[in-house]
Structure 1
Amino acid sequence: MTPTISDLPDACLARVFHFLSPTERNRCSLVCRYWLIIEGQSRHRLSLNAQSDLNSVVKSIFSRFDAVTKLSLKCDRRSSSINDEELILISQFCQNLIRIKLRSCRKLTDSGIESFTNNCNKLKKISFGSCNFGAKGMNAVIANCQFLEELSVKRLIGDLTDEIKPGVAAASLKMISLKDLYNGQRFEPLIIGCKKLKTLSIVRCYGDYDKFLESVGDNVCGLVEIHLERLQVSDLGLEAVSKCRNLQILHLLKTPDCSDLGVMYVAEGCRLLRKIHIDGWKTKRIGDEGLISVAKNCVNLQELVLISVDVTCYGLEVLSDKCRKLERLALCGSDAVGDGEIVCIAAKCVALRKLCIKSCNVSDYGIGALAVGCPNLVKVKVKKCKGVSSDGVGWLMANREPLMVSLDKWECW
């Protein structure tokens, strides 16, 4: 007798489903009852519209998808979201969750989050955005989730007057991301209590963060990546960051109080830096002096993105001489970067593979220098450089095969 698809072992059919998109899986589940059951039992990731009427279908949904480990609950801002009772009901069906994402669930309170994490205490990754609970709920998360490794908090609307303390989760947390918070400093006790913390991201949080970073620098020495964006932080904060000797990735974006001195502090203290992104925000406070310090101290640098930072041939020559491993370079929005700087890069940066130039005073002459320089170059992106024409780019591509050059189609790495 000829074997049919129904003769496949359950595990084999489930494996096939893992290669399909969510839409394709949904279609396959309609083929027959057997496929419906196996598709449900093999689905580990689920994303649901978290409106208030979800309660009526929670039991039927999670009876079918009883192996879900990654759950996303998102509600439209104009709609009424699920409440504590519905979240607790979900937690009773999903006690094996390892990832949860809650977005715009404005009816959830501290009590609901506490009950949820009591049931789902195996969580490794948590992301909260625009939710209505506060410090009490966050402390419950930290107290209950002993395996937690990643925590992302964005626009938390509830009361954050109390500090977020290091509970059992502090022993396992490796990544913390804070965005759009009025009282982000309340997370300081938690952060300095996370001895295994590797990544810290603070974006658009209000208040002075110099003292906050001083505590971090004194207590969390294992940080590998720091992302600071649109933050009130000065050179004193960067001096504190320089104590993180293991730092390899630094994003310093739109922090107008930072200058060359702060960059020098970091470069001298964090000599293992591999990736640096700096957005000077046209304050003219970061330039060649900071770049030269980076070049002299961070010889393992592989990626450098400079936005609104006025660097010249003087700084770029030192960079190319000292940072022989530099593979990716982006120069954006700088009035000081012109043909001379591109000629310098072409002549000196022998390891460079990707070059991005945006809104700089560069012409076809500077772009043409890349035809004979940078022997390992494979990709060039040029955007909003008025002096660069399609003819110039065409000439470069004709004389430098198989170099890929894109004009006015820029994106940052």
Structure 2
Amino acid sequence: MQKGVFIGLLTCASALALGACSESAPPAPPPPAVGVVTLKTESAPLVNELPGRIAAVEIAEVRPQISGVIRRRLFTEGGDVRAGQLLYEIEDAPYRAALAQAQGSLARANAAIRSTALQAQRYRDLVGINAVSRQEYDNADATAQQARADVAAQRGAVQAAQVSQGFTRIRAPISGRIGRSLFTPGALVQAGQADALATIQRTDTVYVDVSQSAAQIIDLKQAMKSGGVSAASGARIQLLLPNGSTYPIEGRLQFSEVSVDPTSGAVTLRATFPNPDGLLLPGMYVRAKLVEGQRTQAILAPQQGITRDARGRATAMVIGKDNKAEMRQVTVDRAVGDKWIVTNGLKPGDRLIVEGLLNLRPGTVVKPGAPQQVVAPAPQHGGAN
């Protein structure tokens, strides 16, 4: 009887011990779920975002060509003017007097030329019969020629006086929008002064001057030569305005400088943009998106799948053998929409982890799945963010 009790107690103790061991070793947690995108080669536009400044296609500084006192200003500041429009009037009384004096001198010269010409004619007849000496005839003929030269000189003086009088009415050299007037009626202005009276700028079409580094231009040309990049179908440029909005009209690239700026190492590119509403103002800072070409075999990785390590190097987590997370160092070129163009470190078919990266370590077994947030396709014509 005692032996049976002992066996029963031993059985109960063993059962309790097994139960305790079972409670102290819980089952292993399931592998973390991650969102995965399978990479493939795509065609991507190469869009470069460059800083630029707006410049007017024509600029004219209105300056006086004579000295005098401004009598009237005949335009509205900030308004539009047309070529030949009267802008200022300078007091013309001194120039009218100078013109009258020149005209009087011309009349006196014309009167003198008649008498000297008649005297030279008479001496020509008299010298033939030896009534006067040859010297007297030569002197009379020289006097007549000098009188004719005086007429030509006085005629030029009249024209100069007329030009000076015409300069008292200052007209617009080009059509465009005129700025503020730096001189008011009553102010004394002088020919050759440093300050312009006003400035006119034509802005119905504007230039956008942007700077691109020489290194970027060399990289693009080398990529085109190797066949990895095809030339763009058209030199199209979009503008980002200072408030972040996109200018609704595309521009066209006109030319690039033939030399590199030694101070900045950049090349200046010039584009033209229509400006019918006057939204683009000269001197405005903008960002220009320039479509340089098309990369034919590009690896486009979603930006949320590319991170940076402590040293600032771009890294990516991919799913390797046995569904284990694997870290790779990658090289990115530029952004296209919400994706990076990856030039090294990833290849077609790699499963890039784009969700669930928090606290994920290399070597961890993961459960791959489709990302909860659908990754938008890369735009055909976009810019770097």
The structure having more radius of gyration, on CA atoms, is 2
Higher strand share: 2
Structure ranking higher on relative contact order (CA contacts 8 Å, 6+ apart): 2
Higher helix share: 1
TM (normalized to structure 2)?
0.20
